[in-house]
Amino acid sequence: MRVEDFKIQWFPGHMTKAKRMMEAQIKLVDVVVEMLDARIPRSSTNPMLQNVLGAKPKVIALNKIDMADTAKTELWLEKLKHSGLPVCKIDCATGKGVKQLISAIQLAAKPVIDKWLKKGVRNRPVRVMIVGIPNVGKSTLINRLVGKNKVMAADKPGVTRGQQWVTIAKGLELLDTPGVLWPKFEDPSVGFALAATGAIKEDVFDRQDAVQLLLDFLLQKYPEALASKYAVTVEEGETAQSVMAKIATARGCLKAGGMLDLDKVDQLVLRDFRSGRLGRFTVDEP
Ligand code: G4P
C-alpha cells in the first residue's frame, strides 16, 4: 500500500451544496476565520475558499495545537505568516489563544472599518464567520466565543432561520453557525491525513490501508512513540506488518485459537492516534 493508492469515497454532490451555502453566507460577513487542524494544516484547508472570498479579509486559526508537534506548529506558523496571512494558534479544548484570535480579527477588520468611516458609517459592527472542514473544532470555538453572550443574541434579517449574530467583543458580531468546507479529497495524501486524524468518517475509507500508512508514517517520523506507547522494540528497517504483530502480542490482541487479531490492532492504533494518547504529531510537513 502506497499513499498514492489511498482512496476516499466522496460525493461531489455534497461539495456543490456546501459551496452554494458558503457563497451565500460569506456575502453576509466582513471577516472570515478559516480554521485549520494544526496536525494537518495543508490537508485541512479548502482549495476553493480563496475564490469565494475574493478580497475579503481572512484570519487563520490553527486549532488543536495541543495534539500537534510543537516544533512543527512553529514552522507552520512561520510559513503561513510568511505568505502574508494573519494566523493564530489556538486550543479550543482549553481556550488557549482565543483572546489573541479576537485581537487578530479586530486587526483584520480595520481596513473595512476605515472604509466605512470614509463613507460616514459609524458604529457598525464587523460581522465574522468561522469556516472549516468537518471536525476541525468550529462548533467548539463558537461555543467558547459565544458563551455567556448567547442571551444577548437577536435574530436579524439576512440570515437563514435559526442562525443568529452574537456579539463576541466590542464591535464584533459572530454568526453562530459555522461554514462547512469540503477538503481536497482527490489528493490521496490529503485523504490519508484526513482519515488518520479523524476528519472523515470510517465508512468512506479502508481502515486497514489507513493504519498501514499511519504505521509507515510513525515508523519513519516518530518511531519512539510506538515503542513507548506499546512497549515494543522498534528495529532499524521495521515494517508496518512486523510492528503490528509486535503490538498484537504486547496487547494480547488474539483471536480464538491464538491467531493475532490484526483488526483489533487497527482499531487500537487509530483510536490512540486520533485521541492524542499516542503522542503529539503533525502529519503535514511544513
Ligand atoms: P466541527 O464543529 O468543526 O465539526 O468540530 P467540533 O467543534 O465538533 O469538534 C470536533 C472534535 O474536536 C470534538 O471532539 C472537540 O471536542 C474536539 N476539539 C475541538 N477543538 C479542540 C482542540 O483545540 N483540542 C482538542 N484536543 N480537541 C479539540 P469530540 O466532541 O470528542 O468529538 P469526537 O472526538 O467524538 O469527534
275 alpha carbon – ligand 1 mean position (Å) = 10
Q: Which residues are paired to 222 by β-bridges?
A: none
pLDDT beyond 60 at 71: yes
Contacts of 170 (CB under 8 A, 6+ apart): none
| C-alpha angle 70-3-274 in degrees, rounded to nearest 5 | 40
Chain-centroid distance of CA 1 in Å reads: 25
Q: Is 49 in the pocket of ligand 1 (CB under 6 A)?
A: no
Band (pLDDT 50/70/90 cuts) for residue 149 is low
- Which residue's CA is the closest to the ligand 1 atom numbered 36? 135
Segment 134-145 mean pLDDT: 94
Band (pLDDT 50/70/90 cuts) for residue 28 is very high
Q: Is 66 in the pocket of ligand 1 (CB under 6 A)?
A: yes
Segment 49-70 mean pLDDT: 94
- What pLDDT does 150 receive? 56
Average pLDDT, the chain: 91
Task: Indicate which atom in ligand 1 lies nearest the CA of residue 65.
Answer: 23
- What pLDDT does 274 receive? 95
Task: Indicate which atom in ligand 1 lies nearest the CA of residue 178.
Answer: 2
Give the residue from 178, 126, 169 showing the smallest Cα distance to 149: 169
62, 66, 88, 92, best to mutate for ligand 1 pocket (most atoms within 8 Å of CB): 92
DSSP 79: H
Band (pLDDT 50/70/90 cuts) for residue 151 is very low
pLDDT beyond 60 at 153: no
Q: Is 197 in the pocket of ligand 1 (CB under 6 A)?
A: no
- Residue 24 has which C-alpha cell? 451565500
- Which residue's CA is the closest to the ligand 1 atom numbered 19? 137
Band (pLDDT 50/70/90 cuts) for residue 67 is very high
DSSP 65: G
Would you say the pTM of this structure is higher than 0.75?
A: yes
Task: Indicate which atom in ligand 1 lies nearest the CA of residue 132.
Answer: 3
- Cα distance between residue 136 and residue 145, in whole Å: 16
